[in-house]
Structure 1
Amino acid sequence: MTALKLYNHNNCTLYTTLQNNGLIGLKISKSYCEILHLSVLPPSQQKGIASQMIYQIINLNPSIEFIIAETDLEAVTFYEKFGFQSIKLPAKYPDTTRFLCIYHV
């Protein structure tokens, strides 16, 4: 429910794949895009779906110069494989490591 409130009130957009096996939530401005949510159903993971969603956003928004995403230790590897640079953030939550990932288009 919190995610739906975010997308309804903050100029954010939630997209799904045609097969409904992946979601990407975004806040897009003129020169950058922030990935707020990125998920792929477990049976569809490791098939390039998340990467395809990011490429689609880039193709549909040619004015985007960079993409940012804040993520956890589990997902930072995906972003780095895609080409994002990651920066370890100061602790926001106890016992949780977070990263800011930046991709220059």
Structure 2
Amino acid sequence: MFMNVKAQIREPEVMELLEYAVFPEPEQVETAVQSYESHDEYELYAYDDKELLVGLIGFEDRGEGLYIRHISVLPENRRKGYGRGMILELMLERNPELIIAETDEEGVDFYRSIGFMVFSMGEVYPGVERFRCEYEVEQADEEEQ
């Protein structure tokens, strides 16, 4: 089940998933928590599978589309479709025209595998290349319905 967990952001299982999203910089967890607590427009959802939170996705609507701020899946549940499933849930619930994410080289294959276009942003931080990933959501043609 896909559910809003923003109010439970300081619960241990939510914090654990957020820590995976900011890895390898666990000190960034508190910064991320504070950003969700202080920005009403930031949303945080988790995927619950048999009463276990297995994935987390944080995002905001920037007008141009939904911007994924954080996404993570418990290590033992990776490569089972949970990340893809959370993005598909976002598409179904929010019906955006565009979904945007920024990632490092390790995340590129994940986004590419589900149809995102990937663009290098260059070396954003010293020694770290970042990538902008964009997915244009196909809108159903109303005449076909």
Range into which the TM-score falls when normalised by the shorter chain: over 0.9
Partner of 1:76: 108
Question: Quick one: distance in 1 between partners of 2:63 and 2:85?
Answer: 21
| Structure 2: runs of 5+ lacking an equivalent | 1-29, 138-145
Q: TM-score, normalised by structure 1?
A: 0.93
Partner of 1:92: 124
Name the CA shift for 1:29/1:95 in 2 (closer, same or farther; >3 Å): closer
Runs in 1 of length 4+ with deviation above 4 angstroms? none
- Structure with the larger helix share: 2
Partner of 1:101: 133
Q: Say which one has the larger Rg.
A: 2
1:14 aligns with 2:39: no
Cα displacement (A) at 1:29: 4.2
Which residue identity does 1:70 align to in structure 2? Answer: E
Deviates more, 1:89-98 or 1:64-73: 89-98
Partner of 2:79: 46
- Sequence identity (%): 38
Name the CA shift for 1:30/1:88 in 2 (closer, same or farther; >3 Å): closer
Question: Quick one: distance in 2 between partners of 1:51 and 1:22?
Answer: 10
Question: Quick one: distance in 1 between partners of 2:62 and 2:88?
Answer: 17
Q: Secondary structure at the match of 1:37?
A: strand
| Structure 1: runs of 5+ lacking an equivalent | none
Cα displacement (A) at 1:31: 5.1
Which residue identity does 1:17 align to in structure 2? Answer: Y
How many pairs does the alignment contain?
A: 104
Q: CA RMSD in A?
A: 1.1
1:28 aligns with 2:71: no
